[in-house]
């Protein structure tokens, strides 16, 4: 599933292509990925000029004049890209936004796990999923991070994946950040002292920023708005490397289920009860 770096990369790529362009047509081609009313969707957005494209958590948001927002949740196989005039659509096109210059924004989703929603000005704040999102890891302070995690009895990886605690982090970057911080994914947050939480916070921000600089990670389906694969996967330290040697100590990386997710770590380099 595209995580924060992938969605951030897509939003940054779409913003200069869409901002300042008027939406001239909308087509919902698959109601499974669009839970709302298509006619209301068109009334809200056709004729409106896009003002910006940005990210919140793992959502790609297209805002138009007046404050209406189209929210795309890519889930596992969703893709967003802009086509040239006359360009034939790819298979599995679910939602189409036509632009005044002849181009179009295509929402492609092979497995139909993703979604598209349209919100009138201010209405997105009443969407329960959106309202419950936690703070952004690249915007919060170390103190905010400590406050969000300190004293909790849950496993640290489960908390990092909890979008109500910290928004946007998924399986890939949780594993990578925990390795960089020397903390096992199954360590309890309550056992991690504040200084080590600061170390983890720095690792989270570093990993996310480097992944954004690399255009995200392409494991299978992910592509940028320009159709390019990300390259951060070539620098993975632990994710997807179970059974291989640790890049730091050479011992075999272990794989276990934590929070229902496959988690890879080094039992020698990462501690279950991190000290100060």
Task: List the catalytic residue out of 2, 5, 185, 274.
Answer: 2
Task: List the catalytic residue out of 3, 6, 8, 176.
Answer: 3
Task: List the catalytic residue out of 55, 58, 79, 103.
Answer: 58
Q: Three-class SS of residue 189?
A: helix
What Å distances lie between residue 103 and 19, 100, 107, 134, CA to CA?
Answer: 13, 7, 13, 35
Helix extents (H) in 72-169: 128-131, 142-149, 156-161
Tokens 């989270």 identify what position?
204
Active site residue 39: no
Active site residue 261: yes
CA distance 22 to 143: 42
| Residues 6+ away with beta carbon under 8 Å from 8 | 55, 212, 216
R_g of the chain, CA atoms, integer Å? 20
Task: List the catalytic residue out of 21, 52, 188, 261.
Answer: 261
User: Is 196 within 8 Å of 274 (Cβ atoms)?
Assistant: yes
Query: Which residues are catalytically annotated?
Result: 2-3, 58, 261
């Amino acid at each position: 599933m595209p995580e924060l770096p992938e969605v951030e990369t897509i939003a940054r790529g779409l913003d200069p292509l869409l901002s300042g362009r008027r939406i001239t047509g909308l087509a919902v081609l698959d109601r499974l990925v669009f839970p709302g009313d298509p006619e209301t969707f068109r009334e809200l957005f056709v004729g409106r000029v896009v003002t910006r494209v940005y990210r919140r958590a793992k959502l790609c948001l297209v805002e138009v004049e007046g404050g209406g927002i189209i929210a795309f949740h890519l889930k596992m196989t969703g893709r967003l890209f802009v086509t040239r005039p006359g360009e034939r659509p790819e298979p599995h096109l679910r939602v189409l936004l036509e632009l005044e210059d002849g181009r179009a924004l295509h929402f492609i989703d092979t497995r139909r796990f993703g979604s598209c929603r349209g919100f009138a000005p201010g209405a997105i704040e009443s969407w329960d999923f959106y309202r419950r999102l936690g703070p952004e890891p690249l915007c919060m302070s170390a103190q905010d991070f400590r406050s969000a995690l300190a004293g909790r009895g849950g496993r640290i990886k489960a908390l990092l994946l909890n979008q109500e605690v910290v928004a946007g982090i998924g399986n890939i970057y949780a594993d990578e950040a925990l390795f960089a911080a020397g903390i096992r994914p199954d360590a309890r947050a309550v056992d991690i002292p504040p200084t080590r939480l600061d170390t983890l916070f720095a690792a989270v921000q570093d990993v996310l920023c480097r992944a954004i600089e690399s255009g995200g990670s392409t494991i299978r389906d992910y592509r940028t708005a320009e159709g390019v694969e990300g390259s951060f996967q070539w620098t993975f330290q632990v994710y997807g490397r179970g059974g291989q040697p640790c890049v730091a100590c050479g011992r075999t990386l272990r794989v276990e289920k934590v929070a229902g997710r496959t988690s890879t770590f080094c039992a020698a380099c990462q501690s279950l009860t991190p000290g100060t």
